């Protein structure tokens, strides 16, 4: 593409010089920068192509009002306006990607705006907090590329180098994004499959069977961002079907584990009418970081998965609650739905022994009677679709085949 445009998202009142430098690098690389000012109050710094007044107006507010607001409230206004303006510029073809630069607040605003752009639209964030745990919230389910600023923003040989690298990376992406596509090659329908180490054998065989049937597969690791990405792509219409082998994130949602995907998990695909095959994969445990198990769970059964991850065995009461939770979500599904339950075990961990927090053996991980509480609860509360219980383990080849065949049948119009 000749001279593609990109939005440069920045608070011009605090980072005007850095923004202008980055814009110069983009221009030299053959990319047309559009400076978007996200400053949370009026100022005298010039140079923006889209000023803060226009951004605030897009959110239904006057820029002058923001000076009297709390910083968080003012930021929310600029994010709302920024999302509307940048999304419109993208839809109209005026921009083909975006880059942001900022500290903690600037990163939060710029990333929130970039997350409103479609998947694969080039997105780059240069941030002073790119190496912190907060990145999981900034990036969330999106495909934003993060560049650590190394030093706080001021122009010197280090930060100029970082800004140059980020600008050139974005320039390469937008130019490639605008390259002519081969219109003669149509992609096969894309199927989303949720995955985890404890369900890997099932997931791999499901992929093989779907690929052989002419479909393309994308995996989503069930550790929080993966589940959110699955829901996002399903809601955007990017997925033809979902084989939700690993619904594990619901357990972490229930007990406040570290791999929760939030309250929206298991909702977007159903709302979009996407065919779903749902499995209680890895619902038999929650994840906590080693040494950070909440006090109320100290006497429970665990398995040390690796140096960082400690798995807590799901009990009967939690399984009953999970049955209700899953049913509530799936009852709103508008498309074909089938829940397949492997009665011989929900994860590979059924082959292991559980321990207490001091490492003493407690019990077998495999507990069919406890697992059955989930199936009974789901059967009581699910009012749509079907439940198919199979006398198999989740990682048995025959169970994976059943999942794949069910999805292939749905996509072929078999219900």
The string of pLDDT tens digits covering residues 42-64 is 999 999 999 999 999 999 999 99
Name the pLDDT band for 242 (thresholds 50, 70, 90): very high
Average pLDDT over residues 180-187: 54
Element (H, E) at 216: strand 216-221
What integer pLDDT is reported at residue 141 of this predicted model?
84
User: Quick one: average pLDDT of 13-40?
Assistant: 96
CATH number assigned to the domain with residue range 5-177, chosen from the 4 options 3.40.50.720, 1.10.620.20, 3.40.50.1110, 3.40.50.12020: 3.40.50.12020
Contact in structure between 394 and 200 (CB atoms under 8 Å): no
Write out pLDDT tens, residues 197-217. 999 999 999 999 999 999 999
How far out from the chain centre does Cα 393 lie?
28
Query: Which are the contacts of 326, defined by CB distance < 8 A and separation ≥ 6?
Result: 247, 250, 266, 278, 280, 339, 378, 382
In our burial notation (b when 16+ CB lie closer than 10 A, e otherwise), range 182-192 reads eeeeeeeeebb
Mean of the pLDDT values across residues 261-278? 96
Q: Say whether 190-411 and 5-177 share the same fold.
A: yes
Token code pair at residue 331: 């009852």
Average pLDDT over residues 15-31: 96
- What pLDDT shows up at residue 187? 82
Over residues 173-193, mean pLDDT: 73
In whole angstroms, give the CA distance from residue 246 to residue 252.
12
Average pLDDT over residues 19-31: 96
Question: Contact at 8 Å (CB) between 333 and 341?
Answer: no
Q: Give the three-state DSSP class for 32.
A: strand
Residue 25 predicted with pLDDT over 50: yes
pLDDT > 70 fraction of the chain, expressed in percent and rounded: 97
Confidence class of residue 413 from pLDDT cuts 50, 70 and 90? confident
Round the average pLDDT of the chain to a whole number and report it: 94
> Whole-angstrom distance between the N-terminal and C-terminal Cα of the chain?
44
Q: pLDDT class for 176, splitting at 50, 70, 90?
A: confident
312-316: average pLDDT: 97
What predicted TM-score, i.e. pTM, was given to this entire model? 0.81
Q: Positive or negative CA dihedral for 221, 222, 226, 227?
A: positive
Domain ranges of the chain: 5-177, 190-411
Residue from 64, 63, 36, 33 nearest 50 by CA: 36
**pLDDT of 70-94, one tens digit each?**
999 999 999 999 999 999 999 999 9
Superfamily of domain 190-411: Uncharacterised protein family UPF0261, NC domain (3.40.50.12030)
Q: How far apart are CA 409 and CA 37, in angstroms?
A: 51
Indicate the pLDDT class of residue 133, thresholds 50, 70 and 90.
confident
Of 75, 377, 411, nearest to 215 by C-alpha is 411
């Amino acid at each position: 593409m000749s001279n593609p445009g990109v939005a440069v998202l920045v608070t011009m009142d605090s980072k005007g010089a850095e923004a202008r430098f980055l814009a110069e690098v983009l221009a030299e690389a053959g990319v047309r920068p559009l400076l978007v000012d996200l400053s949370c109050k009026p100022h005298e710094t010039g140079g923006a192509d889209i000023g803060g007044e226009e951004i605030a107006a897009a959110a239904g507010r006057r820029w002058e009002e923001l000076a009297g607001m709390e910083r968080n409230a003012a930021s929310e206004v600029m994010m709302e306006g920024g999302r509307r303006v940048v999304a419109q510029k993208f839809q109209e073809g005026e921009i083909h990607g975006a880059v942001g630069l900022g500290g903690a607040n600037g990163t939060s605003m710029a990333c929130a705006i970039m997350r409103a752009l479609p998947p694969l639209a080039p997105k780059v964030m240069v941030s002073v907090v790119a190496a912190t745990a907060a990145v999981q919230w900034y990036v969330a389910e999106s495909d934003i590329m993060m560049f650590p600023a190394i030093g706080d923003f001021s122009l010197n040989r280090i930060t100029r180098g970082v800004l140059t690298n980020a600008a050139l990376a974005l320039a390469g992406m937008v130019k490639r994004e605008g390259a002519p596509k081969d219109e003669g090659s149509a992609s096969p329908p894309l199927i989303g499959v949720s995955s985890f180490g404890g369900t890997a054998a099932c997931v791999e065989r499901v992929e093989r069977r779907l690929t052989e049937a002419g479909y393309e597969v994308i995996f989503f690791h069930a550790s929080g961002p993966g589940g959110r990405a699955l829901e996002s792509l399903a809601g955007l219409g990017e997925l033809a079907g979902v084989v939700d082998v690993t619904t594990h994130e619901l357990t972490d949602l229930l007990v406040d584990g570290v791999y929760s995907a939030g309250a929206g998990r298991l909702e977007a695909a159903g709302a979009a009418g996407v065919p779903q095959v749902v499995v209680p994969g890895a619902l038999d445990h929650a994840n906590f970081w080693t040494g950070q198990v909440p006090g109320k769970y100290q006497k429970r059964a665990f398995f040390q998965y690796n140096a960082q991850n400690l798995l807590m065995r799901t009990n009967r009461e939690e399984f009953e609650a999970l049955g209700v939770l899953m049913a509530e979500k799936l009852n709103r599904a508008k498309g074909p739905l089938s829940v397949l339950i492997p009665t011989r075990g929900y994860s590979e961990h059924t082959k292991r022994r559980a321990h207490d927090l001091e490492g003493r053996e407690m019990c077998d991980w495999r507990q069919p009677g406890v697992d059955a509480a989930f199936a009974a609860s789901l059967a009581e509360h699910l009012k749509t679709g079907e439940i198919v219980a199979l006398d198999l383990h989740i990682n048995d080849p025959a169970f994976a085949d059943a999942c794949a065949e069910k999805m292939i049948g749905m996509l072929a119009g078999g219900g």
